[in-house]
Amino acid sequence: MRSIKLHTPVLMADHIRYKSGKVKTICVTYCLTALGIAFDSFTVTGSLDKPNYLGILNREGFSARSRRSKLSKTATIGNSRAAIRKMSDSAQDIYLVVILGDHYGDRVGSKKGGYCHAVLMNGNGEVVIDNAISQVKRDHRKIHSIHKITRA
């Protein structure tokens, strides 16, 4: 399996909102461009209800396999580090993690309401790409979904 090289991510100033209601979000764009996907190759990143970013990854030659069942129902970034290390083959493994919370800048998450955010973590359980880094010692941000990213 080929390892994934992380690139310098593109940080947008704000979400791009279309008249249709669809959105290109800051955090997912940050994660996708860090994986080497060109900023202009996608227009909509999706939401919790419709995760378009999984299709973008697939189209760009990546595979995204859910690992949510390997974590507890109350998984947070902080308490899942050991579980991520255990399920990883190496420290170079990359995980796209969607986090729930009410402390993010925009309600673009889902029809049900609520906020969400996306980060990339490595096989050691460390957050390697995050445009809204948690400033607390213990990261209690709740994990909604986690996908292991590999080259297809």
Structure tokens at 128: 């390697």
**90-123: b (≥16 Cβ within 10 Å) or e:** eeebbbbbbbbbeebeeebbeeeeebbbbbbbbb
pTM for the model: 0.87
Q: How confident is the model at residue 51, as a pLDDT?
A: 87
Mean pLDDT of the chain: 86
Structure tokens at 13: 């100033």
pLDDT digits (tens, 9 = 90+) for 85-110: 999 999 999 999 998 865 544 444 44
Q: Coil, strand, or helix at residue 152?
A: coil
Which are the contacts of 55, defined by CB distance < 8 A and separation ≥ 6? none
| Pick from 72, 59, 56: nearest CA to 118 | 56
User: Residue 150 forms beta bridges with which residues?
Assistant: 63
| Confidence grade of residue 129 (pLDDT, cut at 50, 70, 90) | very high
Which are the contacts of 13, defined by CB distance < 8 A and separation ≥ 6? none
**Whether residue 13 has pLDDT greater than 80:** yes
d(CA 33, CA 21): 23
d(CA 121, CA 132): 14
* pLDDT-wise least confident of 38-47, 68-77, 108-117, 140-149: 108-117
pLDDT digits (tens, 9 = 90+) for 67-85: 999 999 999 998 999 999 9
